[in-house]
Amino acid sequence: MQDSKISVKHLNLYYGNKRALRDVDMEIRDHAVTALIGPSGCGKSTFLKCINRMNDLVGNVRIEGHILLDGEDIYDRRVDITLLRRRVGMIFQQPVPFPMSIYDNIAYGPRIHGIRPGRKLDRIVEEALQGAAILEEVKDRLDRPALGLSGGQQQRLCIARALAVGPEVLLMDEPTSALDPVSTLKIEELMKHLKKKYAVVVVTHNMQQAARVSDDTAFFLTGEVVESGATRILFTNPRERLTKDYILGRFG
């Protein structure tokens, strides 16, 4: 696929003897939003966590196959996992700001990577908050606790925290499921903006959201990718009957 950022080849994942992902092949484009859809328990979030090797933290997991990031296999033994997770940021379903100030939440990652307090760090914090479309709302209270923000603001703060370390890929696991409609709209608009700089991969149960924000979509079922491709085509003229049935709400 043209402008492919991530290539997934024959990916299988096992929890003990249970096979959770089955021979997944997929291309994820740079500067595009890719939506992962499918019923609960179908492997979407499991697949998402493979892309930054978060499944390494789960016991009794075995992974076969390859995930190439810019042509480099992220499961090669020589890969620096800390660097990988800097390149591939993760935003979770529930926003998880640290119990510290708004400024320190954003500065946390850059400090770990050696950026000392000063103008450079200030600029990184400001640009990250701007990139997550929350700067104007918090610029006068950067020293206030992040836990005092609303749920939608906390989620955008977590996106800013991911942006502060300079990622190339953003993974979002149902980032709006805990938010009200107004906050959801802001996150959706933000995703459209973020794809100008990053490859964005989002897990969502909301078919309308997938249709609104994504350029490409992959439909997962029982650990397999039933169909993937341009969102417009997949939603209007799917190749597979299972895809059509899911989109029309006949199951899931």
What does the pLDDT look like over 136-151, one tens digit per residue?
A: 999 999 999 999 999 9
Q: Which residue has the tokens 């990622």?
A: 167
- What's the burial of 228, exposed, middle or buried (CB within 10 Å: 0-12/13-18/19+)? buried
The identity of residue 96, as a single letter, is V
φ, ψ (nearest 5 deg) of residue 202: -125, 130
DSSP label at residue 97 = -
- What's the burial of 116, exposed, middle or buried (CB within 10 Å: 0-12/13-18/19+)? exposed
How far, in Å, CA of 233 to CA of 244, rounded? 11
Tally of CB atoms within 10 A around 251: 9
Mean pLDDT, to the nearest integer, of 165-192? Answer: 95
Q: Which residue has the tokens 């789960």?
A: 58
pLDDT on residue 98: 95
How far, in Å, CA of 12 to CA of 231, rounded? 25
pLDDT digits (tens, 9 = 90+) for 19-35: 999 999 999 999 999 99
Q: What residues have CB less than 8 Å from 5, skipping those under 6 apart?
A: 28, 29, 30, 69, 70, 168, 169, 199
Q: Is the pLDDT score of 1 beyond 60? A: no
Q: Which residue has the tokens 């042509």?
A: 71
pTM over 0.75: yes
